[in-house]
A = this chain, B = another copy of it.
Amino acid sequence: MATDADQARASRRGPRRTREYLLDAAERVVLREGPSASMNAIAAEAGISKPILYRHFGDKAGLYVALADRHIETLLALLREALTRPATRRERTEAAIDAWLRLVEGNPALYRFLVHRGQAEEPEVRDRVAMFQRRLGDALAIGIAAELGLPEDQWPRAQAWAHGIVGMVQAASDWWLDEQPFGREDLTRHLADLIDGAYAHA
């Protein structure tokens, strides 16, 4: 089942390449079969046998964490950039939401894996995803505190808002992905309206 079984032997590539090669195979399987994909299936897809996966990633959680990490850092950087872009507050808000929704729209299977199904089974994976949301929330909290000019003793309030807003965008994305009642731009606008209104009133 390997896509290039002739290159299966890692000595032709070096360990670094092998790892990427295995992650590519794992990602294909996970995006195709969902997060309940078995290690057997992943090994078969890569054209190798199971113990190799375990040598590289320790256990299933390790593989899934590696899989998530490949995308989390990229996504986080993207969102941080949108949140700190020199522009109006409204534009920054819309840019961040839009970046998020582009991922959701462009690769729903990856989105679900990163945000939901990472939560499956092994707690390590869930922790990794939770940590991603947390880092995102904390980054946003700093922006909110600055935006509202909150003194340091009111930072927890900004954090409450920030983590809430992250969850809001995610939940709205989920609903929108199922329903598709309007285009991406409309959802961006609606959510930005909500957040902007809260800002304006604070």
Contact = CB atoms under 8 A, between A and B. Distances in A.
Given A120-B119, A121-B121, A197-B201, A163 B167 contact: no
A171 to B, nearest CB: 2
A157 interface: yes
Contacts of A201: 193, 196-198, 200-201
Nearest to A134: B175
A36 B159 contact: no
A139 interface: no
Interface in A93-150: 116-117, 119-121, 126, 130, 133-134, 137
A152 to B, nearest CB: 13
A22 B120 CA distance: 25
B190 A161 contact: yes
Interface in A149-202: 156-157, 159-161, 163-172, 174-176, 179, 181-182, 186-187, 190-191, 193-202
8 contacts: A119-B119, A137-B175, A157-B186, A160-B176, A164-B168, A164-B191, A165-B168, A197-B200
A109 to B, nearest CB: 14
Interface residues of A, number: 46
Given A119-B116, A119-B119, A200-B201, A172 B163 contact: yes
A190 B157 contact: yes
Given A156-B181, A156-B186, A197-B202, 12 more contacts: A117-B119, A137-B175, A157-B186, A159-B175, A160-B187, A161-B194, A166-B171, A167-B172, A167-B174, A171-B171, A193-B202, A195-B198
Contacts of A175: 134, 137, 159-160, 163-164
A36 B198 contact: no
Contacts of A176: 160
